[in-house]
Amino acid sequence: MVTITLKEGQLSLAEMRAALKTPLQVKLDPGCLSRIETSAKTVDSVLEQEQTVYGINTGFGSLAQTKIARDKLAELQQNLILSHASGTGPLLDDGVVRLILVLKLNSLIRGFSGIRMKTVEYLQALLEADALPCIPAKGSVGASGDLAPLAHLSMVLLGEGEARIDGEYIAAWELLRKLGLEPLELQPKEGLALLNGTQVSTSLALHGLFAAEDCLASSIVAGSLSVEASLSSYSPFDERIHEVRGLQGQKDVAANFRQLLNESEINASHENCGHVQDPYSLRCQPQVLGACLDQMRFAAQQLRIEANAVTDNPLVFPEEGEILSGGNFHAEPVAMIADNLALAIAEIGALSERRISLLTDPGFSKLPAFLSEDPGLHSGFMVAQITSASLASENKSLAHPASVDSLPTSANQEDHVSMATFAARRLGEMSENTAKILGIELLAACQGIDFRRPLTTSYLLEEAHQMVRQRVPHLDQDRPLAPDIEDASVIIRRGLFNGWMRPQLLSD
């Protein structure tokens, strides 16, 4: 079990990636205790002064002008949670839910949300037990935060709804009893602090970012194998070409290609072949993938800030004794980042599909048609290429920007929303499509390398070839390729090539 300590604004990308993959032991920095207590006391003080403050002693959304009696304030917070638990669709993956819990806890300990330490400890108890609330994936428009999904998370603290432990479903009331906890009785502001915020959108976007990193690293390896299998030129990766343009992502991607493409017998065999230029999907890989990397690095920078941010409303400022209503819950930054990541994921897959097409075309690759041992009797990779085309086309539709859409909600009080949750959620499907395309390219490129034997490629690419062959044998006659594609795409999804990248693609 991985242990992380939450400190003010210091949660790292590596810790977030770990939360998506494995149960966590979460400790809190001792300095957060006084901030949390002071924030909660500020809420109590405002109520004692009988001030009217949104969400503490008023209704919500378009009902903000409705004053709530003092003896109804606890009921107000509970009703808020229950009424907002209106999500639908399939449940979010366990890893995503775990990260949502971490990000929500990370935000609350900053001391600007007006919640008690007891409420923080309930969230911490869920993480310690890896008890993950059942959260429907659909129902949020990304402002005022991720209301519906966070309500489904929060109502487990009240003994309502369901959670999962070790893949098994358990009623929330039974879970609390198992953890030795009573259903939480919310105090003023606490319900709003729990379900207001961008933690769901941000967690989904981070999941998409890390999947995009896996795909990009794999595309550099698969693209290098395709360069070798197709007897393409090394000259487009020459450092001088990329230095004069100056774009960092392009330079770093080209450097990774140079690391992979060296001391190859296959390349030496056609050094003086007279071939002038290769198609763009081979020649322009540093330019296209470098642009994707630049987008991903900006996304990583912004999402790390958002993951450490306070995004509920209103916010409590204890030093001034003020509670201010604003709009940090609006997830437009996450929506735009997710849209840019969608473009990168789609382009990585689109470029890979074009290379698969070139490898299966004997007119270009000078390999057997469709990489078949006996073309005509056997169809080889003919339909695998069609599958890659269908997935690349599907990603084009999914890449349509979500952030430009908005539908007013809550009687026009919330009249512009971000659609960040969908923008981020579709990244999972897109990265899965791209992983499958890259899996097909790995298979096709390794098949091409097989046809170049006894010549060998570079040391690292021979290692990549062996990694594929340990899972999938050479295609000597037609067989169902669906299992092969799945086995090859596991290499991408597990990020097995990420550690090969020098320079590293993403870092804290």
- How many CB atoms lie under 10 A from the CB of residue 367? 23
Catalytic pick among 54, 122, 169, 234: 54
Q: Could you confirm whether 54 is annotated as catalytic?
A: yes
Tokens 């810790």: give the residue.
15
Rounded CA-CA distance 12/102 in Å is 12
Task: Tell me the C-alpha to C-alpha distance, in Å, between residue 105 and each of 94, 165, 246, 365.
Answer: 17, 19, 41, 54
- How many CB atoms lie under 10 A from the CB of residue 319? 7
Rounded CA-CA distance 87/79 in Å is 16
Q: How many residues appear in the chain?
A: 508
DSSP letter, residue 133: E
- How many CB atoms lie under 10 A from the CB of residue 174? 12
Question: Quick check: helix, strand or coil at residue 319?
Answer: coil
Indicate the angle between helix axes 285-307 and 13-21, nearest 10 degrees: 90
Q: Are strands 315-317 and 322-324 parallel, antiparallel or unpaired?
A: antiparallel
Task: Provide the b/e sequence for 230-267 (b: ≥16 CB within 10 Å).
Answer: bbbbbebbeeeebeeeebebbbbbbbbbbbbbeebebb
* Per-position DSSP letters for 141-191, written without gaps between them: -SSSSSHHHHHHHHHGGGT-SEEEETTEEEEHHHHHHHTT-PPP-PPTTHH
* Per-position DSSP letters for 180-202, written without gaps between them: T-PPP-PPTTHHHHHH-SSHHHH
Tokens 């330079």: give the residue.
251
Least Cα distance to 98 among 189, 16, 209 occurs for: 16
Rounded CA-CA distance 215/390 in Å is 18
Least Cα distance to 292 among 325, 331, 240, 250 occurs for: 250
Indicate the angle between helix axes 94-108 and 13-21, nearest 10 degrees: 140
Rounded CA-CA distance 365/486 in Å is 25
Decide: 186 and 133 in contact? Cβ < 8 Å: no
Taking the CA atoms of the chain, what radius of gyration do you get in angstroms?
A: 26
Any idea which residues carry the catalytic annotation?
54
